[in-house]
Structures are given as C-alpha cells and as structure tokens.
C-alpha cells in the first residue's frame, strides 16, 4: 500500500497523501529541550540574496490569482532549505539554501478571490454529492511542488482538491456521523467489520466520509474505519455494496515494507495463480460475496489482479508473509460507486 494515499483521503482517508516538505523544519520559537529553553537562530530576509527573495515572492505571486503578495519573514529551516512566510497569513514558500531554487509554494486565499470557474466546479461537485447540504468554504490553498499541483478548498466537514493543470476534481469529501446516515449502510459496515476482525473490535468510529476520488475510480463511496484504526471499509454510495477493505495491522510493524523496497522484496512472485486464488478466496467470499474460482491472475510485486470476463475485477495486495490485507472490487464499467 502506498503511504502517500493518502492521504490523506481517510482524509479519511483519503487522502492523501503526500509527505510534507516541512518535515524536520525548525521554527524560530522557544522549545523545551531536556528541560532547557532553546531558541533557534534564524536569518532575516534582508540577509538573503535579494534575487532569491524576489524569486520567492514571484513564485507566490504567480499562484495568487492576482492577490498582492508581500513576504514577511523566514519562519523555518532545515539543513537544505529556508521557509519564507508571506504577510497576512498568505502562505509559505520553500527555497533551497544552496541554489536559491523555489521547491514548494503554498498560497492561502479566500473562496471569493479565486476564479469563478473554480468556484463553480467546487459548488457543483459538492451539490452533486449531497444536494440538500449547505456548504461553506473557509479557505483555499494553492499548492505547487514536485508531488502536487492543486487547488485545495477546505471548510467545516468538507474538502475538494482540483488539479491546477486540468481544472478537474481530484478528490472531494464530506464528513458525516453514523447517526446522519442510512441505517442499512451502517449495518453493512458493522457486519463487514465483524467479518474482517472475527468479532474482535470495539466498533466503528462515529465519523464517516463520503468520498469522490478520480485516481481510485471512486465515483462516490462511504469510508468507514473502526475505533482502533485497524480496519478500513469502503461501501459504494449508490450500490450499498462493500467495494474495498484494508486490514492495516497486516502491513504494520514487522510486516511493513516501504514503497522503495517493494520491488526488491517482491521481485519473485509469492504465489502461483492457483495458490493466489486459494489464499484470497476465503476473504472474498466472506466479505464481498464473490468467488474467484476460474479467474485469471496476474501480479506485479505485492499486487495481484484477478479478472474474469463478465465479472468484477479484484485487486489485492499481500504483505511479505503472503497475507492479503488490501482488497478492492471494481465493476466492469470501471466506476466504483
């Protein structure tokens, strides 16, 4: 399973999903370190090359939809980069110390400051997911770096991410409580949780997220998680069927393999076609009411794909012990809902 996804989404998943470029950044505040107050020394903007400062400002201005940007101060650093913040909480820019290269930009805007077509996309997407609900977008972030180039719209219990190049929605999410939901869907999630855990879990979290995710081909799905955060259950919002499940404990601690190590660890297929079906079929029957007998099997590293003409496609991943822990069922039309 990729850590990046990620994200986020449980954004609830959702999500997300990408590693923050501000990891290990020091900020100019007092911190208690072994009982002593220590203040990190921090340069001022005046001490930086003026061309670097101007490049940082222009990088932010380019993403600001015409809203004037003024830089404020250096607000953080690590061994390689400076974090420069704009005035009025308008965002940050990350600049390398050696080359003076801008590697990350985040500009914070108000909803009414972005282009009308973006506002319309957000509004129509959310209304398409739940026409009865009222939405308020509190903040907009324009984020641009090597792993992301997006418009991120956030509000209370609502989030929409739009690809900045295409203008299309990447993800959208609405948060609910189980009390607000159709009791039949909640019951399906509870029964699925019981099957996944063999009854050994305290129950579902009270929060549920309605998710739209283009990359995962999730048209609209409900995302549930148990209170121990061991199991994730995805149910189609239109079909009411379980379409995905993840057992996180099977990919934690000793079973964890980083994305970088997966090609090496799983260089040779763990299972033959026949043995893969034997290993995964009990879970598919119990949770998804689907028998994979007669399916074709292909694999790439730890990911196995099961296909059969006229039947849904199943993708499932194994840990290094060969235990399947992540399952997704995709209809023939490719749209999970």
Instruction: Answer with the one of 224, 248, 272 that is the final residue of a domain.
Output: 248
Contact 161, 171 (CB under 8 A): yes
CATH of the domain at 243: 3.10.450
Residues 158-171 pLDDT 10s: 999 999 999 999 99
Pair 171, 187 in one domain: no
CATH of the domain at 135: 3.30.2310
Chain centroid, CA 103 distance in Å = 21
Q: Is the pLDDT of residue 30 over 80?
A: no
Picking from 17-21, 160-164, 236-240, 331-335, which range would have the lowest pLDDT averaged per residue?
A: 17-21
Residue 220 lies in a domain: yes
Pair 220, 154 in one domain: no
Residue 51 lies in a domain: no
Residue 136 lies in a domain: yes
Q: Is the pLDDT of residue 149 over 80?
A: yes
Residues 180-200 pLDDT 10s: 999 999 999 999 999 999 888
- Please choose, from the candidates 226, 191, 184, 187, the residue with its C-alpha nearest in 3D space to the C-alpha of residue 205: 226
Residue 234 lies in a domain: yes
Instruction: Answer with the one of 136, 158, 177 that is the final residue of a domain.
Output: 177
Q: Give me the number of domains the chain comprises.
A: 3
Pair 221, 236 in one domain: yes
- Please choose, from the candidates 268, 274, 272, the residue with its C-alpha nearest in 3D space to the C-alpha of residue 320: 268
Pair 308, 272 in one domain: yes
Measure the CA–CA gap between 328 and 280, rounded to whole angstroms.
12
Q: Is the pLDDT of residue 36 over 50?
A: no
Return the pLDDT at 151: 98
Pair 266, 315 in one domain: yes
Picking from 40-49, 78-87, 116-125, 144-153, which range would have the lowest pLDDT averaged per residue?
A: 40-49
Mean pLDDT confidence for 35-50? 72
Residue 237 lies in a domain: yes
Mean pLDDT confidence for 98-115? 96
Instruction: Answer with the one of 248, 267, 293 that is the final residue of a domain.
Output: 248
Residue that is written with structure tokens 């598919």 in the block: 284
Q: Is 70 exposed, middle or buried (0-12, 13-18, 19+ CB in 10 A)?
A: exposed
Pair 185, 242 in one domain: yes
Contact 143, 152 (CB under 8 A): yes
Residue 192 lies in a domain: yes
Residue 56 lies in a domain: no
Residue 86 lies in a domain: no
Which residue range is the domain that position 198 belongs to?
A: 180-248
């Amino acid at each position: 399973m990729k850590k990046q996804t990620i994200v986020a989404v449980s954004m609830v998943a959702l999500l997300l999903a990408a590693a923050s470029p501000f990891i290990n950044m020091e900020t100019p505040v007092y911190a208690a370190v072994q009982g002593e107050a220590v203040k990190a020394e921090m340069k001022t903007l005046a001490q930086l090359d003026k061309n670097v400062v101007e490049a940082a400002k222009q990088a932010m201005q380019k993403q600001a939809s015409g809203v004037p940007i003024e830089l404020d101060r250096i607000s953080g650093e690590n061994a390689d980069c400076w974090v420069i913040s704009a005035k009025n909480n308008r965002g940050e820019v990350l600049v390398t110390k050696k080359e003076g290269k801008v590697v990350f930009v985040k500009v914070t805007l108000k909803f009414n400051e972005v282009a009308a077509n973006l506002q319309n996309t957000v509004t129509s997407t959310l209304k398409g997911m739940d026409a009865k609900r009222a939405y308020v977008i509190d903040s907009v972030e324009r984020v641009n770096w090597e792993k992301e180039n997006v418009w991120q719209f956030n509000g209370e219990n609502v989030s929409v991410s739009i690809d900045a190049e295409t203008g299309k929605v990447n993800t959208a999410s609405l948060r609910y409580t189980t009390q607000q939901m159709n009791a039949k869907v909640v019951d399906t999630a509870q029964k699925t949780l019981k099957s996944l855990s063999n009854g050994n879990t305290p129950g579902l979290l009270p929060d549920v997220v309605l998710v739209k995710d283009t990359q995962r081909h999730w048209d609209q799905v409900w995302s549930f998680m148990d209170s121990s955060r061991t199991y994730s259950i995805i149910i189609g919002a239109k079909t009411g069927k379980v379409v995905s499940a993840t057992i996180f404990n099977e990919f934690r601690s000793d079973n964890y393999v980083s994305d970088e190590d997966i090609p090496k660890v799983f260089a040779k297929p763990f299972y033959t076609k026949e043995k893969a079906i034997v290993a995964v079929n009990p879970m598919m029957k119990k949770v998804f009411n689907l028998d994979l007998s007669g399916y074709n099997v292909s694999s790439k590293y730890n990911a196995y794909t099961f296909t059969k003409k006229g039947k849904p496609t199943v993708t499932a991943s194994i840990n290094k012990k060969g235990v399947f822990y992540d399952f997704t069922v995709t209809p023939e039309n490719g749209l999970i809902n």
